Structure 1
Amino acid sequence: MLTAAPLIPLDDVPARLRGAALAIGNFDGMHRGHHALFAASRNEADARGIPALMLTFEPHPRTVLRPGEPLFRLTPLDAKARLAGAFGLDGVVVAKFDTEFANVSAEEFVADVLVKRLGITAVVVGHDFQFGHDRLGSPAFLASAGERHGFTTTVVGAVTDAFGAPYSASRIRSLLEEGDIALANDELGYRWFVVGAVQHGDKRGRELGYPTANIRLAADCGLALGIYAVTLTRADGTVLPGVASYGRRPTFDNGAVILEAHVFDFAGDLYGETVAVTFHAFLRGEERFTSIDALIAQMDLDSLAARAILAAAGPGSDVDLRLAGSSDVAEGETIA
């Protein structure tokens, strides 16, 4: 079973994690473009016998700097912790991002955050990394500061797809908003998932012969409304196949958007349990049916389609295997 990396407030970093190799970024999506940073920080850590950490910011800086613009968060903190564990990182350091933090200069960020609070040995950033007030800090600035403060700087170049385009969280958001799960998952390098606690619903699914585990996602979730082939991973690592609706239930109340996952051939109790729902394929958009019988008939077809897709899906990428806690990935194998 995968062990998620611990989430560590910046002001409460334990002594055993000081002196780390540190990857820095917003890391929304933790997509293929970020994987090289995590691998580089892990490699630096292993070579030096030190921890490997990532530093991220919460809330996402854009929500503070541009509060009027909604942002579809691809990887909230709980998802980042799971992914960081899959990448072999020893922890996720979380810096509270507010207007005061936004006004910290690049030099202050280095001296206070990297040196004083974290005591880093090495830092890893992307080629386009910018930091500090007015984004005046750059990889070159960081490398120069490292020479003065005694840490090394690794700058990772752009990671591009087969067409030469850099991987992008914005593009992945657009794909998910369009329901293009297959391409979004390919760009992420793993199957996109959400994490949440199973809540009690109105039990309507049970009455239809399709009991569901109901999870309310963040209001900023921009996933296309519709029906998906999914797997649900329990806290103990058990993976259950199913079909899910993300939508407003237009046949009934057209209410608040909710994720309703029906697990195949399962009669247990999931209420209150925190689970991960992984999206394998988009089946169809949300529809309003003229009768309950028509809805059930379509649900039967959706279930058959989801079962077929999941049966043929295979284990996924190395990252998916790590997320599943699989022993099929060799110890020390590079995650790509």
Structure 2
Amino acid sequence: MSALISDAFSVITELDAFPPHLKGGVVAIGNFDGVHRGHRAVLDTALTIGRELNAPVYVMTFEPHPRSVFNPDAPVYRLSPFEQKNDILKACGLSGSLVLPFTREFAGVEADAFVREILIAQLGIAHAVTGYDFHFGKARKGTPDFLRQSGADNGFGVTIVAPENDEGSEVISSSRIRTALSDGDISLANGLLGYRWFVDAQVRHGDKRGRDLGYPTANLALPKECPLKHGIYAVKVRHGEQMVDGVASFGRRPTFDNGAPLLEVHLFDFKEDLYGKILRVHLVSYLRGEEKFDKIDALVAQMNRDSEEARAALASMQPLSELDHLLLDGPA
């Protein structure tokens, strides 16, 4: 389907299906992987301009990630794949998301043709907002200065947003967040995002070993390129309309089979059958690294301690932002 409408948030995947109610709007352009605090500086600027112009505000983004097109043997890990990204953008208060297919042919479109044929002819934009490092068009000739001049020549506004720094004066970026995840530094990753990072996955059948240990788990396979450090995490899990506290292990289960990485989630005080269901798992804190135990009793004792620590971490957590609150406690 080329255009989905849900609670006034449109997801458009074909230019020919661009809805009339978004024409003449303010467009924020970028990849927005993770929709982190730096990205939201761009989105907040666009929303402010939209209010001033009394115009709708939407994003233009691209699928797949350009790095996956130009370097398919080393695809970039997506912090927020298609559906998750749109859920975050909706929670940010935008009117929609225009998702353009990114191909080598699209990358070869001249920058002036992109402006003339897409921004002006098909979208009729009133204003464009991008980050300081956004480039577009053949040979990346669509620089911020080029876009400014195009706006001046064609009657639409352009705002280029400066880099957003964290509390340590370092630029916030998706690559820093991926590195933090690989280091097990969930506190840093979540701080740079401004919300608890989450993954969506379908519950699959496992060996049911956790049930025998007194800790039944929902087993979730993450993409093989996921950089998340193997270890134990305190988590909050959305199942339909419910948000449930839990503890999760991500890794290869060295005590047992040292197999393919799995995210195994134990939900506290929860007994429903979850096989085949899609769960959204928000990572709240990193508890410890993955370990191999010589005796099952020692493993179970450690799992008991992990559960206590996870319950304590979840009981004391506070929302990182209004967006974090909406993603955790708002409508699914």
Return the TM-score normalized by structure 2. 0.92
Closer, same or farther: CA 277–14 of 1 in aligned 2, 3 Å: same
The answer to whether the aligner puts 1:221 opposite 2:221 as a matched pair is no
> Which residue of 260, 264, 284 corresponds with 1:280?
284
The aligned counterpart of 2:171 is: 166
The aligned counterpart of 1:31 is: 36
Letter in 1 for 2:276: G
The answer to whether the aligner puts 1:299 opposite 2:298 as a matched pair is no
Map 1:125-204 → 2, pairs under 5 A:
125-204=130-209
The answer to whether the aligner puts 1:260 opposite 2:267 as a matched pair is no
The separation in 2 between residues aligned to 1:169 and 1:138, in whole angstroms, is 20
RMSD of equivalent CA atoms:
2.0
The separation in 1 between residues aligned to 2:105 and 2:273, in whole angstroms, is 45
The aligned counterpart of 1:72 is: 77
Deviation of residue 97 (structure 1)? 0.9
CA displacement, residues 146-194 of structure 1 (integer Å, 9 cap, x when unaligned): 2333321111112112332211111111111000000111111111111
Q: Which runs of 5+ in 1 are unaligned?
A: 328-336
> Which residue of 49, 57, 80 corresponds with 1:52?
57
The separation in 1 between residues aligned to 2:186 and 2:195, in whole angstroms, is 11
> Which residue of 319, 322, 325 corresponds with 1:321?
325
The aligned counterpart of 2:3 is: none
The separation in 2 between residues aligned to 1:199 and 1:4, in whole angstroms, is 34
CA displacement, residues 108-149 of structure 1 (integer Å, 9 cap, x when unaligned): 221222223322221111122211111111111112212333
CA contact (8 A) 2:191 2:320 kept: no
CA displacement, residues 10-51 of structure 1 (integer Å, 9 cap, x when unaligned): 333222222221111111121111111111111222222322
The aligned counterpart of 2:216 is: 211
The separation in 2 between residues aligned to 1:173 and 1:121, in whole angstroms, is 35
> Which residue of 63, 69, 73 corresponds with 2:68?
63
CA contact (8 A) 1:6 1:81 kept: no
Return the TM-score normalized by structure 1. 0.91
The separation in 1 between residues aligned to 2:287 and 2:223, in whole angstroms, is 22
SS in 2 for 1:324: helix
CA contact (8 A) 1:4 1:81 kept: no
> Which residue of 93, 105, 119 corresponds with 1:88?
93
Deviation of residue 298 (structure 1)? 1.3
The separation in 2 between residues aligned to 1:285 and 1:325, in whole angstroms, is 29
The separation in 2 between residues aligned to 1:274 and 1:118, in whole angstroms, is 35
CA contact (8 A) 1:20 1:52 kept: yes
Closer, same or farther: CA 4–219 of 1 in aligned 2, 3 Å: farther
The separation in 1 between residues aligned to 2:253 and 2:302, in whole angstroms, is 14
The structure, 1 or 2, with the larger RCO (C-alpha pairs under 8 Å, 6+ apart) is: 1
> Which residue of 300, 308, 317 corresponds with 2:312?
308
CA contact (8 A) 1:73 1:220 kept: no
Letter in 2 for 1:43: T
Deviation of residue 91 (structure 1)? 1.4
The separation in 1 between residues aligned to 2:297 and 2:33, in whole angstroms, is 42
Instruction: Give the count of matched residue pairs.
Output: 325
CA contact (8 A) 1:235 1:273 kept: no
The answer to whether the aligner puts 1:18 opposite 2:23 as a matched pair is yes
Instruction: Calculate percent identity across the aligned residue pairs.
Output: 48
SS in 2 for 1:222: coil
Letter in 1 for 2:89: A
Closer, same or farther: CA 164–314 of 1 in aligned 2, 3 Å: closer
The aligned counterpart of 1:331 is: none
SS in 1 for 2:80: coil
The separation in 2 between residues aligned to 1:285 and 1:163, in whole angstroms, is 26
CA contact (8 A) 2:319 2:325 kept: yes
The answer to whether the aligner puts 1:108 opposite 2:125 as a matched pair is no
CA contact (8 A) 1:199 1:214 kept: yes
Letter in 2 for 1:208: L
Letter in 2 for 1:167: I
Closer, same or farther: CA 263–167 of 1 in aligned 2, 3 Å: same
